[in-house]
Amino acid sequence: MSLAEIILLLSSTTSSGLILLAGLLHLRGPGFEASKEVATPGEVAEDFSSESVFPPSDVSRPLSAISGANQRLIRLLIEREILSYAITRIYEAESEGKISEDEREQMIRQYEFQLREINKEVSSIEKYARLEQLERERTELLGTMSGRVREIEGEIERIKRETGLVEKPKEELPAEEEKAEKEKKVKKRTRVDLETIMEEVAEAMREMEKIEREEE
């Protein structure tokens, strides 16, 4: 069955069938030829590979460029809708006796392959789009929280100053005063040590005198 016959088949019931199929051919571009017969399963795998039918997906680009994937996603969703309609119409044509079961299987196999490829790419784009959205929300949330924390800290400091709860920094002594203070402490400690030694010497002398008197 040629592509022209498929067009007539899809448009035999409603005019929307022809419009949808024309949209599919427009989206597919030069990959479809008006004179091309429906391919065999082996030819389908070759002619409708993900590289030949689908241009490189936006999801292969860095996250900074993912915002441009919306156009690609819209295009894929339209293609999926068209293919879904085509598959449904093929089943209807078989039930109406317009095509045989073998023809139905051959046509369905071709469209189902394309539909699977579209679904995989849609899923990938949606995941990366969701990732981009979550990262953006996280950045916004962190920014909001940081700003609020700064506001709270500023309010705390203001209240402490107003209530006198802020600890005043200790005044540092000038270098000369600090040196004099240290020398004063050293002299005081030396005087105390000297007095202790003199008391110990006096005690020792008294003990010696006591021993001498006992010996006499």
150-161 b/e with 16+ CB inside 10 Å = b? eeeeeeeeeeee
Q: Tell which of 104, 121, 146 closes a domain.
A: 146
121 shares a domain with 40: yes
Instruction: Give the pLDDT of residue 165.
Output: 78
55 shares a domain with 100: yes
109 shares a domain with 52: yes
What separation in angstroms does the CA of 105 have from each of 41, 43, 112? 10, 15, 10
What separation in angstroms does the CA of 189 have from each of 183, 192, 193, 197? 10, 5, 6, 13
Tokens of 72: 């690609």
186 shares a domain with 123: no
What separation in angstroms does the CA of 87 have from each of 3, 21, 137, 199? 14, 11, 40, 117
pLDDT in tens, the chain (216 residues): 444 444 444 444 444 444 444 454 444 444 433 333 333 333 333 333 333 333 344 444 444 444 566 788 888 889 999 999 999 999 999 999 999 999 889 888 888 888 999 999 888 888 888 888 899 999 999 988 888 888 899 988 888 888 887 665 555 556 676 667 777 666 666 666 777 777 877 787 777 777 777 766
Contact 20, 84 (CB under 8 A): no
Instruction: Give the pLDDT of residue 199.
Output: 80
84: containing domain: 3-146
Q: Tell which of 129, 146, 163 closes a domain.
A: 146
| Residue 170, in any domain of the structure | no
Q: Which residue has the tokens 């085509």?
A: 86
CA distance 76 to 215: 124
62 shares a domain with 125: yes
Scanning the chain, the segments in alpha helix (DSSP H) are: 3-11, 15-28, 41-47, 50-53, 69-95, 101-163, 175-215
131 shares a domain with 41: yes
142 shares a domain with 188: no
93 shares a domain with 18: yes
201 shares a domain with 109: no
Of 127, 15, 27, the residue nearest 83 (C-alpha): 27
35 shares a domain with 141: yes
134 shares a domain with 65: yes
Total domain count for the chain? 2
| Residue 169, in any domain of the structure | no
CB atoms within 10 A of CB 21: 21
CA distance 159 to 201: 63
Q: Tell which of 97, 131, 146 closes a domain.
A: 146
142 shares a domain with 79: yes
Instruction: Give strand pairing partners of 37.
Output: 2
| Residue 171, in any domain of the structure | no
CB atoms within 10 A of CB 18: 14
Instruction: Give the pLDDT of residue 133.
Output: 87
